[in-house]
């Protein structure tokens, strides 16, 4: 939280033009099943590579 406050204070005087050039992005991992669940054949997809059981999502937003 401290890093976010520091960033906000550093950018408090930005103009509308500054904000128009900004891109906010983030990522998250969503588990397909819970920690106590077992790997079931119906959870598998032949195209899955690496660690099966989760989906990585990435997104961003801009001014317009």
Quick one: average pLDDT of 27-54?
68
Quick one: average pLDDT of 43-60?
69
In the chain, where the domains are located: 1-33+51-64
| pLDDT for residue 27 | 92
- Rounded distance, CA 18 to CA 21, Å? 6
**pLDDT tens sequence across 15-29:** 999 999 999 999 988
pTM of the predicted structure, to 2 decimals: 0.51
- Rounded distance, CA 53 to CA 6, Å? 36
Q: Residue 39 above 70 pLDDT? A: no
- Do 22 and 63 contact (CB within 8 A), yes or no? yes
Work out the pLDDT band at 62, boundaries 50, 70, 90. very high
Higher pLDDT, 37 or 48: 37
Sign of CA dihedral 29, 32, 36, 42: negative
Q: Which of 64, 1, 59 is nearest to 26 (CA)?
A: 59
């Amino acid at each position: 939280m401290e890093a976010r406050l520091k960033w906000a204070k550093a950018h408090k005087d930005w103009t509308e033009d500054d904000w128009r050039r900004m891109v906010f992005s983030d990522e998250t991992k969503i588990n397909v099943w819970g920690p106590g669940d077992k790997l079931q054949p119906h959870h598998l997809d032949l195209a899955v590579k690496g660690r099966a059981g989760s989906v990585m999502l990435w997104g961003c937003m801009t001014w317009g």
